[in-house]
Amino acid sequence: MTRVSRTIVAGTAALLASAGLALAADMAIPYPEPPVVEEPIIAPMFGGWYIRGDVGVGITGNDGWEMHDLAIAGGRFVTDDMGDALIVGAGVGYRIHERVRLEITGEYRGSIGISATDQYKYTCTFAGGSCPAIGAVIDRNNMWEGELSSTVVMANGLFDIGEFKGLRPFVGGGVGMAYNRIHGLRDFDPSDLGGGGIVNDKGKWNFAWALQAGVGYEVNERLTLEAGYRYINLGDAESGTVRCLPVGSCTYQGLKIKDIDSHDLRLGMRWLLDAPVAVERVEPNFAPIIRKY
């Protein structure tokens, strides 16, 4: 080996040794943990005030008619009937959670026909026609016909179950007040004995409650259409004083229609007044680190 060759080999060995020492020293130094990069994740949107409107029909019923003076006479109502109500309503609501909504609503339930038939014992004061003899006791009837209307104010809570192919089923309930008004009520005896009376109009506020279920369809970011069913209990209705015909010949206390309820079928819409609130939460994301040597 010549002197030049020995010089090259020695230099190469020295360089390799210094590189090894540098690498060993570098590996002995602890590296800092990789930084955490926080990226915002937008949660499902909720919140925002909305207005609503509804139309529908209510299949109305009751738990019977009562009249104090009729009961004293040993009588009772033997039949009663109520028509179906047209419903028009509006309200305002707020979504407090992705699945929970609160609403205040008001509605008018249009006038429906009400009718009933009573039966009581009558002691004849003459002979003839329906009365076979003076003092005879016969069954006598009055027919009652009039109208009932209601105005309802409710506070409702609703829970959206979830979303299924664009449909959002919901359930809920509410409490409030119903103003039930009996008006245009008359009574008459259809037999040959004749007679009848007129009834003063009267309204009454009652506690009301409801349970409901339905489904909504989101047409766009602001408009949602709804179809639903609701059971609502409207409380009682009371009439004014009954005045016999001819007017002034006699008066009786008013009657009561007990425990009025309805099975409602409704169509509605909700319109969001402002943009929904997006809740931002942060989740860690560990970004890759590239080190230059």
Residue at 217 is within a domain:
yes
Q: Quick one: average pLDDT of 166-193? A: 95
pLDDT in tens, 107-146: 999 999 999 999 999 999 999 889 999 999 999 999 999 9
Q: Is residue 233 part of a domain?
A: yes
- Please indicate, yes or no, if residue 246 is contained in any of the structural domains: yes
**283: pLDDT strictly greater than 80:** no
Three-state SS at 280:
strand
Q: How confident is the model at residue 1 (pLDDT cuts 50, 70, 90)?
A: low
Residue 162 resides in a domain: yes
285 in any annotated domain: no
**Span 77-105, average pLDDT:** 96
Distance CA 142, CA 37 (A): 84
Structure tokens at 32: 């800092």
287 domain-assigned: no
Dist. CA 47–CA 38, nearest whole Å: 25
Q: Are 61 and 260 in contact (CB under 8 A)?
A: yes
Q: Where are the beta strands (DSSP E) in the chain?
A: 36-42, 49-61, 65-67, 76-82, 84-95, 100-123, 137-160, 167-188, 196-199, 202-218, 223-238, 242-244, 251-252, 255-272, 280-286
- In a domain, residue 281? The reply is no
What pLDDT, on a 0 to 100 scale, did the predictor assign at position 200? Answer: 95
Q: 71-85 pLDDT, tens per residue?
A: 998 899 999 999 999
More confident residue, 96 or 36: 96
What total number of domains does the chain contain? Answer: 1
The residue range of the domain holding 93 is 40-117+145-272
Does the pTM surpass 0.95? The reply is no
User: Does position 289 have pLDDT exceeding 60, yes or no?
Assistant: no
* pLDDT tens profile 29-67: 555 565 555 555 444 455 689 999 999 999 999 999 999
- pLDDT higher than 90, residue 13: no
Q: What is the mean pLDDT of residues 91-113?
A: 96
Whether residue 9 is predicted with pLDDT greater than 60 in this model: the reply is no
Specify the 3-state DSSP secondary structure of 190: coil
- Residue written as token pair 């069954």: 139
The stretch 89-116 carries a mean pLDDT of 96
Percent of the chain past pLDDT 90, that is, above it, reads: 66
Mean pLDDT calculated for residue range 196-200: 93
Residue 193 resides in a domain: yes
280 and 41 Cβ atoms separated by less than 8 Å: yes
- Per-residue pLDDT, averaged over 168-180, amounts to 97
9 three-class SS: helix
Q: What is the CATH number of the domain that holds 173?
A: 2.40.160.20
